[in-house]
Amino acid sequence: MTVIMMYEFNHPKEPERRRKGYNIASKIFEPYLHNKQKEGVKWKAEDYTDGSNTIIGLFEFETLEDFSMIWGDEEFQKIFSRWSYYVDNCTIRILRQDLYLTPEQY
């Protein structure tokens, strides 16, 4: 079952907060993502924006087990929590693939 963790946020207007958020993302979070992929977690990370200062990020996991390896990891929780202090309006949604209806059943 595919699981998607969708997060949405706005970059802060204060340059210092924005810089700290970028630093956490690039120096701590990106290496974490790469290490987990090397450990065998199958996931894809993408960010999207419409130019309005709102960013939507998607972490797509191939299986519930892959998602659980990240979501249940204390290091991930610490990094994500720390980063969330340096962005505005951060929300997270966990989406799972609908297994009950096939396209033919709609």
Residue ranges per structural domain of the chain:
3-98
- Where do the DSSP E strands lie in the chain? 3-10, 43-49, 54-61, 88-96
pLDDT per residue over 54-65, tens digit each?
A: 999 999 999 999
- pLDDT at position 10: 95
Residue 94 has pLDDT above 90, yes or no: yes
Distance in angstroms (rounded) separating the CA atoms of residues 44 and 9? 19
The pTM for the full model equals 0.81
**Cα angle vertex 93, ends 46, 16, to 5°?**
65
79 vs 1, residue with greater confidence: 79
pLDDT computed for residue 104 by the predictor: 73
Q: Which CATH code is given to the segment(s) 3-98? A: 3.30.70.100
CA distance 30 to 47: 13
Q: Is 6 left (phi over 0), alpha (psi -120 to 50) or beta?
A: beta
- Tell me: the pLDDT tens digits for 27-73? 999 999 999 999 999 989 999 999 899 999 999 999 999 999 999 99
